[in-house]
Amino acid sequence: MHDNELWYSYKEGDVKALEGLYEQYYSPLTNYGFKFTPDNVCIEESMQDLFLKLWQNRERITRPPAVKQYLYLSFRRILLRRLEYNPSRHEEELSGEHIPFRFDLTCEHPVVKKERMEELMVKANALHSALTNRQREAVFLKYYEELSYEEIAEIMHMSTGVANILIYRAHERLREQFRDFTLLQLLYLLKRS
């Protein structure tokens, strides 16, 4: 079933539709959560809070333009609140550079051959220091989660233009530091096995 169909059915009170959304977004959202914190319990509780609030507030929640964007935005708010970044007090905290965002690299990914792993690990470490936290998050949302600039801006509490500039500057920074760095390698770095 498509996102919009699941959303419509969930809004009508269909628990199975909510379960469908949960099953569809559990892995991507928890993967996104691990970019902020390694605390599995915190991420799991944030997921539970998200879907509990969705169910409890289903009559008041309007249909979002994009279900995926809405779920990422809501999950991010809940998770950051748990991590003590309080969006209700200081909205600018949600887009602040002080919010950590990590890339994790593992050796098990099938895309990269074993003999290239060491070289890629060196690049990954350099990449981590080359990009800011906000750039890493924006690049992750753009290329791994395939969100639009508008959706990224909404999730990260910034204008669409700022999101576009943030990703453009990340590209420029990567090109400056890694002339041979490919998009495939970047996507690999964003993946968490």
With a cut of 90, say whether residue 70 has pLDDT above it: yes
Q: What is the mean pLDDT of residues 50-57?
A: 92
Residues found in the chain = 193
Q: How confident is the model at residue 96 (pLDDT cuts 50, 70, 90)?
A: low
Contact 75, 154 (CB under 8 A): no
Higher pLDDT pick, 122 / 158:
158
What global pTM score does this model have?
0.61
DSSP state of 106: -
pLDDT at 120: 62
Burial class (CB in 10 A: 0-12, 13-18, 19+), 56: exposed
Write the single-letter amino acid at 174: L
> Alpha-carbon distance 177 to 160, whole Å?
26
Q: How confident is the model at residue 191 (pLDDT cuts 50, 70, 90)?
A: low
